[in-house]
């Protein structure tokens, strides 16, 4: 099964700059999940215990009014904001179509930041961009 995960991880742009050894390290820590369309992955206020990378399918990000504020697809990630800030989830995420997602928990993410600073920079940059978008959205 690890060989299957390894081949999948190598194809995801988020992990593309890592070496084979680093890919193997990630595979040991990630989990693959299958979610049906309509499934809620987490809700606003839930604790942030995992971030997700979409392998296949798509999700919609909803605000407190249930309005769609973003649609994310293959190779995109979400859930990192609560892991980085330790705040509760600030959005609800629902599966749009049957999807396969990888999850990384807080400990794994911190290890990645330590071992792979470039990946940490990508996640932090996305975090800051999304935080700015959220500020603009909440002001409108």
Provide mean pLDDT across the span 45-68.
93
21-30: list long-range contacts, CB under 8 Å, 24+ apart: 22/115, 22/116, 25/115, 26/112, 27/2, 28/2, 29/104, 29/105, 29/108, 29/111, 30/5, 30/102, 30/103, 30/104, 30/108
Place of tokens 């084979």: 20
C-alpha span between 93 and 108 (Å, rounded):
21
The mean pLDDT value for 51-57 works out to 91
74-132: pLDDT as tens digits: 988 898 878 778 889 999 999 999 999 989 888 877 777 787 777 777 777 777 787 78
Contact 35, 41 (CB under 8 A): yes
Q: What is the pLDDT of residue 139?
A: 67
pLDDT at res. 69: 92
Confidence bin at 140 (pLDDT 50/70/90): low
Q: Which two tokens stand for residue 65?
A: 């009014």
pLDDT value, residue 23? 78
pLDDT given for residue 117 in this prediction: 76
Of residues 78 and 139, the one with the higher pLDDT is 78
């Amino acid at each position: 099964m690890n060989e299957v995960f390894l081949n999948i991880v190598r194809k995801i742009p988020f992990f593309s700059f890592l070496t084979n050894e680093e890919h193997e390290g990630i595979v040991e820590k990630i989990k693959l999940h299958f979610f049906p369309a309509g499934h809620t992955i987490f809700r606003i206020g839930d604790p942030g215990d995992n971030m997700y990378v979409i392998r296949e399918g798509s999700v919609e990000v909803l605000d407190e009014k249930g309005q769609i504020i973003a649609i994310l697809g293959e190779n995109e990630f979400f859930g990192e904001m609560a892991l980085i800030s330790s705040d509760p989830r600030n959005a609800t995420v629902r599966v749009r179509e049957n999807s396969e997602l990888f999850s990384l928990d807080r400990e794994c993410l911190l290890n990645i930041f330590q071992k792979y600073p470039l990946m940490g920079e990508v996640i932090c940059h996305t975090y800051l961009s999304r935080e700015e978008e959220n500020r603009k959205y909440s002001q409108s």
